[in-house]
Amino acid sequence: MANQAEIAAGQTALRRTQSRSVRFFANRMIDEHGQVNQETAGLMQRLAATPQRSGISDALAAELRRPCEAQCSRSSRVRPGVP
């Protein structure tokens, strides 16, 4: 769950930018955090463990559901054509 916010931010960046450096970083975020999710799922399966909800996981889930207010307002100040 913790990596979902980073993956979602990377996907949003890919949709909103044409900057090569931002696209590179966004793809890297998606790939690396996706790999961590896969490794975690594999470990959980090997241990026959089930993730438990907590206040932290609930807060992360709520953060994912919120619009990207802070990120979107910052990205609107970026000068066009500047990576």
Position 14 in a domain: yes
Position 60 in a domain: yes
Position 80 in a domain: no
Concatenate the DSSP letters of all residues of 4-21 into one string: HHHHHHHHHHHHH---HH
| Number of domains forming the structure of the chain | 1
pLDDT tens-digit profile of 32-82?
A: 999 999 999 999 999 999 988 888 878 877 877 776 555 555 554 444 444
Q: Is this model's pTM higher than 0.85 or not?
A: no
Position 68 in a domain: yes
Tell which wins on pLDDT, 72 or 6.
6
Position 42 in a domain: yes
Predicted local distance difference test score (pLDDT) of residue 71: 53
Instruction: With residue 80 as reference, give the H or E element that holds it.
Output: none
